[in-house]
Amino acid sequence: MIPVITIDGPSGSGKGTIAERVAKRLGWHCLDSGALYRLLVILADRAGISSDQVDKLTKLARNMKVEFRQRAVFLDGEEVTLAIRSESSGNAASKVAAVPEVRSALLEWQRDYARAPGLVADGRDMGSVVFPDAGVKIYLTASAGERAWRRYNQLKEKGLNASLGDLAAEINERDERDRNRGTAPLMAPEGALEVESTALSIDEVLEQVMERVRSAYPDLVI
Ligand code: DC
């Protein structure tokens, strides 16, 4: 059994940053599951396929050739690290992610990422659907205002254009869709440690998560 830590939460909650830090501390693999939905959007866009063409979309999802190299993402050998980070691709990703057939096409694929010595996976349904037997489940939240502000700073750092007002509206729209879809909606999985991070620093969140990791895996030297 490969040990798995799941970190779920709404967009801008900081789960990607925390997942990366935890994986680095442990020397484990890291799966950014949102990137898969974002990559699918790029492919669909290029092929002129819309989110209601379910069969074509599902076929694309099954045949995606994705490679994660450190922090870079490649699609069919082309680097798309920055292209998938725009807010519009996140919003479009949330639309294709609401299609149940797309989610099941990506399911086994995501489970395949659980490799020795262990996996830290972040997303919306990591603890509830993809890795229900994970040894540690975290549900990370923050107020909508704080999440918009974090997203704004993240995009600016990457040199991408952003407006705080637009981001807040998009975050609300995305939250609404991700929480209310019929298949694998965003939710706190049973048994998860809920961390409300609005007033916490990255290090403070990391400490709470690592404490849970230590008690679940006492043999790990951290
Ligand atoms: O985490 P992110 O912002 O990169 O995710 C983009 C969208 O993909 C998100 O709004 C909903 C969808 N998603 C999902 O449905 N399930 C996941 N496990 C990860 C992301």
Domain annotation covers residue 219: no
Ligand 1 centroid to Cα of residue 26, in Å, is 24
Answer yes or no: is 108 within a domain: yes
- pLDDT score at 212: 97
Whether the CB of 102 sits within 6 Å of ligand 1:
no
Q: How many domains does the chain have?
A: 1
pLDDT-based confidence at residue 103 (cuts at 50, 70, 90): very high
pLDDT tens by residue, 23-74: 999 999 999 999 999 999 999 999 999 989 999 999 999 999 999 888 899 9
- Answer whether residue 124 is part of any domain: yes
* Domain housing 107: 4-212
Please indicate whether residue 97, judged by its CB atom, sits closer than 6 Å to ligand 1.
yes
* CB distance 188 to 140 below 8 Å: no
Ligand 1 centroid–CA 147 distance in Å is: 15
Q: Is residue 49 part of a domain?
A: yes
- Whether 144 is covered by a domain: the verdict is yes
The residues near 112 (Cβ < 8 Å, ≥ 6 apart) are none
Over residues 5-20, mean pLDDT: 95
Q: pTM for this one? A: 0.94
Whether the pLDDT of residue 129 is over 80: the answer is: yes
Residue 58 lies in a domain: yes
Name the residue among 90, 97, 74, 94 with its Cα closest to residue 154. 90
- Which amino acid is located at 191 in the chain? G
Q: Is residue 118 within 8 Å of residue 79, measured between CB atoms?
A: no
Residue 56 lies in a domain: yes
Q: CATH number for the domain including 189? A: 3.40.50.300
Q: Is the CB of 8 under 6 A from ligand 1?
A: no
Ligand 1 contact via 61 beta carbon (within 6 Å) = no
**Mean pLDDT within 190-197:** 97
Given a cut of 80, whether residue 220 has pLDDT beyond it is yes
Q: In this structure, is residue 83 part of a structural domain?
A: yes
148-166 pLDDT, tens digit per residue, is 999 899 889 988 888 999 9
Euclidean distance between CA atoms 114 and 121, whole angstroms: 9
Which pLDDT value is given to residue 191?
Answer: 96
Pairing of strands 78-79, 72-75: antiparallel
Query: In the sheet that 29-32 helps form, which strands lie side by side, from edge to edge?
Result: 29-32, 119-123, 4-8, 136-141, 193-196
pLDDT at position 161 is: 84
pLDDT for 88 equals 85
Q: Residue 219 C-alpha to ligand 1 middle, in angstroms?
A: 32
Q: How far is the CA of 92 from the centre of ligand 1 (A)?
A: 10
222 pLDDT higher than 80? no
